[in-house]
A and B are shown apart, each in its own frame.
Chain A
């Protein structure tokens, strides 16, 4: 009976630690904001543009390798009207240092269309994303919006 209680205790400890070991969180720090756009005039938001570029913060176990994947929109919408968006192959940057620097990240010019695999730093990981909006010449005025989804997964490495 003594062994039984030991095993039960071990079982409970493993269950309790399983979640905490792999727990991570993605926080949206800043939306991707293009501001005012004139019809026919494309507007680009650089990933280093603080306050306008998209910014995510990923927390988790320092040193763990994670895969970052984006689900990127190709259009913004407003009441049936679409406006094209483009995310280039260098529109993403990542910083895993203790003091993330948006203007000089350690991993720059990354392709947001492919999974990005890096290790979490002691202060997690900060991810920035820029993009371009391409309004048509006769683009209907209005407030356009879309959603970017980011999925972060531990690789187990």
Chain B
């Protein structure tokens, strides 16, 4: 066999081998992967004064800022009373979380059930809530979180 033909056949054989490898590789698997990355972002805000939070029946909690329309809370002239205006709240449970200036927890969450809270108000528009145990609620606490939980009844 002449050298030229020998080289030509060797090259030919090599290319056939390479083609077979690629074909088999394509069919057999070589999963090609792609990646993507996204960010998770959240902004934790410092509670100042009294912050109202509503918890829905399904456990979803919404901050006061998201409750501009369904509910509005403000400190009543009497220090132990809070006015909550809502057209949707029928009955409520109130809990207080109290912290001092250094965000130190002064007392654990205390939950006032519907029976504990005194709820009065003209119709559905305004509810007046009074802490059942007013001595346990230091009104001079720097940060108070008030959680309003809608009852099922």
Contacts and interface: CB of A to CB of B under 8 A. Distances in A.
A141 B14 CA distance: 65
A24 to B, nearest CB: 5
B76 interface: no
Nearest to A127: B36
Interface residues of B, number: 44
B15 interface: yes
B44 interface: yes
Contact of B43 (A4, A31, A37, A54): A37
A150 B35 CA distance: 5
Interface core residue of B36, B42, B43, B147 (most chain A CB under 10 Å): B42
Contact of B23 (A14, A142, A146): A14
A80 to B, nearest CB: 14
Choose among B19, B39, B99 the residue with the greatest number of A CB atoms under 10 Å from its CB.
Answer: B39
Nearest to B46: A141
A153 B38 contact: no
A110 interface: no
Given A38-B145, A141-B46, A7 B15 contact: yes
Interface string A131-148: 101010111111111111
Q: Give 6 closest A-B pairs by Cβ, nearest first.
A: A26-B36, A34-B42, A22-B32, A153-B33, A141-B46, A156-B29
